Amino acid sequence: MNITGEKDNGDGTVTLFLDVTEEEENLLIQCGMQDIIDNEYDGKVKILPITDALLDCLKDAKRWELTDEEAHFFFEHGFIVALKRGMELAEKMLL
């Protein structure tokens, strides 16, 4: 993953432009999904339980597809989680 550019938005924020491979994108989406599932954020995000009836309906599914909006949400969340983990690791290395 490479930062290819940045844009100052004038309101104290910056937009970064990234060159991300499909594999990196998929890993960040998976990271975001796993963090949401693991933490559920004190009830702010509801994860529906998988029931036997739901499993019966889905047993023949070969794959699941996310909407663009869902993929974007999980990608952004995964990116933030990866940044936090990198910052925590860097902090430990400095101690």
| Domain edges within the chain | 2-94
2 pLDDT above the threshold of 80: yes
- CB burial of residue 64 (10 Å; 0-12, 13-18, 19+): exposed
Q: Report the predicted TM-score, pTM, of the whole model to 2 decimal places.
A: 0.67
Q: Supply φ then ψ for residue 15, to 5 degrees.
A: -100, 125
| Angle, CA 12 vertex, CA 8 and CA 15 arms, to 5° | 40
Q: Which of 48-57, 69-78, 83-92 has the lowest mean pLDDT?
A: 48-57
How many Cα atoms occupy the beta-carbon half-sphere of 7 within 13 Å?
4
* Interatomic CA distance for residues 30 and 82, integer angstroms: 11
Q: Could you report the per-residue pLDDT of 3-58, keeping only the tens digit for each?
A: 899 999 999 999 989 899 999 999 999 998 888 878 766 666 666 666 777 667 76
